[in-house]
Amino acid sequence: MDSPTNLFQNIADSLDAESVCEILKRESVRIERIVSRGQVSPPGFWYDQNEDEWIMVLSGRAIIRVEERQETITLEPGDAFHLPAHVRHRVEWTDPLQPTIWLAFYWKSS
């Protein structure tokens, strides 16, 4: 049995890079807590993952770009978004003044 986890604890006051903490990993699913403090995807970099990803912003704010969409997507606390496998996307902006805490679920698409 797993131990309880508080997603709002153990957040660093400053980060050189995003902090990724694996919350749960099983054969069919992986759950991560990601913390950003102003971090963005490097210029020209696009995520192109073999897994589906469902993200939710728990605190802070972020803007992501999906390659096949013209407009960016702004995410605030409580907002969730599904990124199917191989949908290229990137993080354009995260709030530099407060932690943006993401909850991310990953699974193999069928």
Q: Flag whether pLDDT at 30 surpasses 60.
A: yes
Whether 7 is in a domain gets the answer no
Average the pLDDT over 25-50 and give the result: 96
Could you tell me the CATH number of the domain that includes residue 86? 2.60.120.10
Whether 35 is in a domain gets the answer yes
When pLDDT is cut at 50, 70 and 90, the band that residue 54 belongs to is very high
Q: How many domains does the chain have?
A: 1
Do residues 99 and 37 touch, judged by C-beta distance below 8 A? yes
Average the pLDDT over 78-94 and give the result: 98
Whether 2 is in a domain gets the answer no
Q: Give the pLDDT score at 53.
A: 98
Q: Is the alpha carbon torsion for 110, 89, 57, 72 positive or negative?
A: negative
Average the pLDDT over 87-110 and give the result: 95
Q: Flag whether pLDDT at 20 surpasses 60.
A: yes
Q: Give the pLDDT score at 17.
A: 87
Q: Flag whether pLDDT at 51 surpasses 60.
A: yes
Whether 76 is in a domain gets the answer yes
Q: Give the pLDDT score at 1.
A: 53
Give the domain extent around 73. Answer: 19-108
Whether 1 is in a domain gets the answer no
Which of the 8 DSSP states describes residue 85? T
In single-letter form, the type of residue at position 46 comes to W
The residues that bridge with 91 in the sheet, in sequence order, are: 64
Q: Give the pLDDT score at 97.
A: 95
d(CA 31, CA 42): 23
Whether 81 is in a domain gets the answer yes
Whether 80 is in a domain gets the answer yes
Whether 11 is in a domain gets the answer no
Tokens of 85: 């496998």
Q: Which of 38, 32, 3, 43 is nearest to 17 (CA)?
A: 38
